Amino acid sequence: MLLTLLRTETRLKYEQTQTEFPVPKDRRRFISCAVNLAHSNSTDFGYRDWHDDDPMEVEMLFGDFVNALLASDLLRSIQLYVEQGSKQLLEEVGVLQPTSHALDEFAQVVANRGIWNGGLSGARTWNELQQRLQARVREYRSFLHRRTRAIPTNILETKTSIGEPVGELADLLREQHVLAPETNVFVDIDQYEELGNIRTGPRVSRPVDYRSVINRAIARRDPRVSYRIGSRRHSWRSHNRIFGSEGRLEEERDYKFVDLDILLKRGENRKTYIFPAFADDVFQRRMKVSGIASDGETIEVERIYGKSETPDQKGKLYNKSVERSYPSDWRESTKKRLATLAANHPLSARLGEAWIRQKGDRDDLEVRDSNLPWEKQFYWRKERIDLALLQLASANQQRPIYSGAEEIFDLSNGNILVFISINQHIWDQYLRFAANRSDVDHGIPKIGRDLQSVGIFKASEHWYMKIAEETGKSAERLRFISEVARVLRERVMSDRKMTYPGASGFSLKESELDAFPKVRAFLEELSDYSNLIMLPHTTKDKDRAFRFKWYFSPILCPYLRLPYKRIKEPYYATIKELAFWLESAGVSSVFSQPNKPTQQSLL
């Protein structure tokens, strides 16, 4: 999605609508060619079984197909700029306003280059060059879609090596004065993860590895072009094999990895938290497209949804009529004070109960509410607020309340798709139950807390159910999420002392994980698909052993009835406990024979 910003059509649209291109002026000198692997028939290689073909031969054919797509798109981008771009835009991009004659001469130079192995020979004009490349793509598609029985011999005998043609084209475009010498040529390959899902059919030797072909292009480190690969994390991190080589792609040496999830997620420094501004921009554009916002009008998320309730405000929204029982050995004055407090400040009363269960019934409670001992302990209180609210909701048989701009941003956790999904579910509730009411203002709506909360819960349920639709071990991941959530939920909800408020997540020693590589890979897959958040964990144990910790993705937490904020220490699990969770979820098969201890000792 982000790579679309680099497309020629996008750049032209910005100029045509007189909108400032959102890239610094000193970084605008580039042209791009692109292939979306999910939308260009690249994944249609799975339509053929290739039973009798050498996997390397299939991989070379795939590379040649991608080469033709990229070369064709680069020429198309040049033509779009020449035909539709203003003189100012061409200067900004670095397209040197070539004449038709100059483009035809360029085509003849390209067609005669050895890199094409004679596949373009005879092309004498710019149009003929484009037609030859497009015809090559069509021949592949005809074969993939079973309209022809075989790939034509002239294509088989003129295969090109992945990445070489686009690098050669970029060099010639500068050399022949079609592009300025300093113009960058970006090669954008999007939805790389789809290559891992192509059906390859049964094979004696090995399956066809399409991702290794793209990796080969990157491994060239060709200075004439710059690659931009769009991929989900799980597909990129798990696969670095290079076509035709025993080597592997190396981060920093062959590529730089930019994790947008990390860039957009909220860190400890609020000044670096850029997601709300990004989400607000998306929201405002949606408001304009829908006709709710007029030209020049700004409608931010908070204007529609309001501010999120404070914890104390949330506590007061839960039913206060439930009888609360306290230990019989507590002083009557303590019970009475908490009961009185619960009538007006139920959150404080719940925190007070946990405080006394932890530290004993010894404090003088006949003081102002603000001077109660638990109210004066800022960090103790902060670490337990979210769990206390969940326990209050559970005790009153109510769903937890989620609403307001800040909470919507937090639940999105830097994922713009989650943010859009939350909005869609909230607006669905609004349009179904409030939009046509006579007492509702039909100008710019202000959607109430209750509709927001229901919409957020439904969005959470949607993302939970969506896990089963994902690739990889999706069914196993869903069962594991369900089982671990059940175990941790029972633990935190029954913890009346709230001794371990961070136990909505779990932590494991790295050394224990290293003994079970398949288990580690399974947990990393959960993180790669954003089902769980995996973080390094600085332990407080005396052994100082390095650990990792896992928390549920925030959007899943309303449905799982767990706190979504990562506060305090997680639950320190053992590898044996993890084994029981996996076995209970029906996914114990991910255990491989460990180095030590034995598998039997765990299960």
- pLDDT per residue as tens digits for the range 495-515: 999 999 999 999 999 999 989
Letter for the amino acid at 278?
Answer: F
The per-residue pLDDT for range 362-377, each reduced to its tens digit, is: 999 999 999 999 999 9
Identify whether residues 330 and 450 lie together within a single domain. Answer: no
Instruction: List the one residue out of 413, 427, 372, 379 whose CA is nearest residue 558.
Output: 413
- Where does a domain end: 469, 488, 511? 469
Identify whether residues 116 and 29 lie together within a single domain. Answer: yes
| Pair of tokens at residue 574 | 């053992």
Residue 297, pLDDT above cutoff 60: yes
Identify whether residues 116 and 225 lie together within a single domain. Answer: yes
Q: What is the pLDDT of residue 598?
A: 42
Identify whether residues 115 and 225 lie together within a single domain. Answer: yes
Identify whether residues 204 and 91 lie together within a single domain. Answer: yes
Letter for the amino acid at 159?
Answer: K
Identify whether residues 138 and 193 lie together within a single domain. Answer: yes
Give the C-alpha separation, 562 to 400, whole Å.
10
Identify whether residues 238 and 98 lie together within a single domain. Answer: yes
Identify whether residues 216 and 253 lie together within a single domain. Answer: yes
Q: What is the pLDDT of residue 148?
A: 93
Averaged over 119-145, what is the pLDDT? 95
Mean pLDDT of the chain: 90
Identify whether residues 452 and 505 lie together within a single domain. Answer: no
Measured CA distances, 88 to 15, 19, 56, 95 (Å): 10, 14, 46, 10
- Where does a domain end: 217, 232, 258? 258
Q: In what order do the strands lie in the sheet with 532-537?
A: 532-537, 547-552, 506-509, 571-572
Q: What is the pLDDT of residue 52?
A: 58
Q: What is the pLDDT of residue 298?
A: 86
The per-residue pLDDT for range 563-577, each reduced to its tens digit, is: 999 888 999 999 999
Domain that holds residue 325: 311-395
Letter for the amino acid at 436?
Answer: N
- Where does a domain end: 418, 445, 469? 469
Identify whether residues 295 and 382 lie together within a single domain. Answer: no
Domain count, the chain: 4
Identify whether residues 303 and 317 lie together within a single domain. Answer: no
Identify whether residues 284 and 334 lie together within a single domain. Answer: no
C-alpha Rg value of the chain to the nearest Å: 30
